[in-house]
Structure 1
């Protein structure tokens, strides 16, 4: 019988930070941008969220910041960002990481599902022994990001990823597990037979209470603040 799959959201489910934004802060500092650049961009994202702009559109806007950037340089920066986060400490949601280690030890494939992208997800996936990391995929032409993406992996798309991955693996979704921390993970959680709520999101808490879903703590103390990247490159980031 094919082993069941363990699906896992990443930001604030497996790690205690929002990877896209922490990476952006790191990358801008590495490119020699002042801290005010990051603060201005974040203020714009927050205003969009407060104004009701859909998460999918905010996700697309984020990736437009990387138009013209070299994909290999972003991947290398992602590895350096991950190393810096781990060195700082407080990066992982410990209960979720232990749970995934249990799935790996049992021979069950782990699939990370996130609106983040490979620069952030690949080192996280390697660290936890994940089989796949499925994230938002920037369009790359001749090694350079165009600023557009294929499909933001948010909301209902996460549920579709679970269905597709289970089909490819030949796994029964009723035997699979999924971990999520936010209402936007609901489609992922309801796709499997063993949903696990990480943290205390009120929407997920309501489902967990009514349906008997398992719960895990999400390490309530805030993760340490990001620090500037130590090695700036000479050119500024043209798109910001």
Structure 2
């Protein structure tokens, strides 16, 4: 399997931020701004607390409406000149061509990630799961977070489910919070210049990819935006 973080690894933006800003503009101020959401978490809030505050702002929103908004946002976002990280997208394609199961692992949510996963041809999506009531409206609470150590826990659960060995798997991430994810597999790749991850890469011999942003290349061949690499083929688990 090949596990990919999403924000600033496969796409150049932080999807939760970009999506919220898009919704704020569409609502013409009827929704709280991102600054207001951050302030609601309180001074000195941790990354996990900010994450919770972000999702509390969805309370009362219909799941179907959020999904539709996510597809609208992504359709606009993907057309941008700097929307993707071509080197990482190319690596994803190379893994898929080698028969590896491609899994996206992100603290973002289905509304943002489902259309991206479909376009990239990902086989699985491990992301933040939101609670909804019986009427199909979000409560603002989380059924499952997916940041930091939770990513590694989800990876281990999927490996146990499928019987795949961690040493035969790959992971890609850009931020120090992805460290547990990268350390949970046999082959890790750092995307970009995070100093914490680069330190581990130097000590442990991890691969590196540039985080330079670029356009979506559609069905262009592997190697777009970075040096092409070949991976051993494996039986498909799809």
* Residues 46, 209 of structure 1: alpha-carbon distance in 2 compared, 3 angstrom cutoff: farther
Distance 1:154 1:15 in 2: 17
For the pair 1:116 / 2:108, whether they are aligned, the reply is yes
For the pair 1:143 / 2:139, whether they are aligned, the reply is no
Q: TM-score, normalised by structure 1?
A: 0.84
SS of aligned partner of 2:78:
helix
For the pair 1:153 / 2:152, whether they are aligned, the reply is no
Distance 1:152 1:215 in 2: 27
Distance 2:110 2:4 in 1: 15
Query: What is the root-mean-square deviation in Å for CA atoms of aligned residues?
Result: 1.9
SS of aligned partner of 1:17:
coil
Give the C-alpha shift of residue 108 in structure 1. 0.9
Distance 2:22 2:62 in 1: 16
Aligned counterpart for 2:197 among listed residues 204, 215, 218 = 204
Distance 2:178 2:127 in 1: 13
Give the C-alpha shift of residue 169 in structure 1. 2.0
Structure 2 spans left out of the alignment, 5+ residues: 215-238
Give the C-alpha shift of residue 90 in structure 1. 1.3
For the pair 1:44 / 2:45, whether they are aligned, the reply is no
SS of aligned partner of 1:136:
strand
* Residues 146, 43 of structure 1: alpha-carbon distance in 2 compared, 3 angstrom cutoff: closer
Aligned counterpart for 2:17 among listed residues 6, 16, 21 = 21
Identify the residue that residue 228 of structure 2 maps to in structure 1.
none
SS of aligned partner of 2:198:
helix
Q: Which has the higher helix share?
A: 1
Identify the residue that residue 98 of structure 1 maps to in structure 2.
90
Give the C-alpha shift of residue 89 in structure 1. 2.5
Identify the residue that residue 161 of structure 2 maps to in structure 1.
168
- Structure 1: which 4+ aligned runs deviate by more than 4 Å? 45-48
Identify the residue that residue 174 of structure 2 maps to in structure 1.
181
Deviations 1:176-210 (A, max 9, x none): 00000011000000000001000010110000000
For the pair 1:125 / 2:117, whether they are aligned, the reply is yes
What number of residue pairs does the alignment pair up? 213
Asked if 1 retains the 8 angstrom alpha-carbon contact of 2:41 and 2:49, the reply is no
Q: TM-score, normalised by structure 2?
A: 0.84
Distance 1:186 1:131 in 2: 22
Give the C-alpha shift of residue 40 in structure 1. 3.2
